[in-house]
A and B are shown apart, each in its own frame.
Chain A
């Protein structure tokens, strides 16, 4: 019977273990979990949320990953955040403007969160018919 595998995170790495009965004993401790026993090419597939790549130096590039991965309707939301951060810079510190642009950013962020959550889901219902 195939062994049940589990994953967990430890700092910035992932640990993969398989469960057995009293699989490992060290000192006086016994654990049911041991490291996996299989070598498998591309055997581990991790689905994850990630940050975009940093922007490149080509200002007119149309293949910039960060710009392609985030829908265009949210680009001005991101600009609002950058403007707000700029107003927190000691050389141009203006708290009222920083607060305003942060609030604009938060407004856009709320919309984007809804969009992100609903992206792969389609609403619908089953309608009953009498024949």
Chain B
């Protein structure tokens, strides 16, 4: 379905809404749908820096399914280490 068809279907019920408002409703519906169905999977690559602990995550990320370091699957740590590291993060 093209965006114009979706906008027209919504407009059949909500004549008072402009195109921009309908697009916002659709964007929110897309985001809700993606979060609840976990239908869009992606891979994010980032470079690591020695002695840097934190790396920014993309805003659109909902949930991490697995993490690989140097092509090796690494496990998730339950909780946080008792000593933090204040090195600045990059993305």
User: How many whole Å from B40's CB to the nearest CB in chain A?
Assistant: 5
Contacts of A39 in B (CB 8 A): 47-50
Q: What is the size, in residues, of chain B's interface with A at 8 Å between Cβ atoms? A: 76
Report if A103 contacts B (CB, 8 A). Answer: no
Report the bound CA distance from A116 to B46 in whole Å. 26
Q: Which of B43, B71, B82 contacts A46 (CB 8 A)?
A: B43
Tally inter-chain residue pairs, CB-CB below 8 A: 275
Q: If A40-B47, A48-B62 touch, does A83 touch B10 (CB 8 Å cutoff)? A: yes
Contact A14 B55 (CB under 8 A): yes
Report if A37 contacts B (CB, 8 A). Answer: yes
Residue of B nearest to A97 (CB): B13
Contact A61 B2 (CB under 8 A): yes
Residue of A nearest to B49 (CB): A39
A residues 66-86 in Cβ contact with B at 8 Å: 66-67, 69-72, 74-79, 81-83, 85-86
Residues of B within 8 A of A (CB): 1-4, 6-7, 9-10, 13-14, 16-17, 19, 22-23, 25-72, 74-83, 85, 87, 89
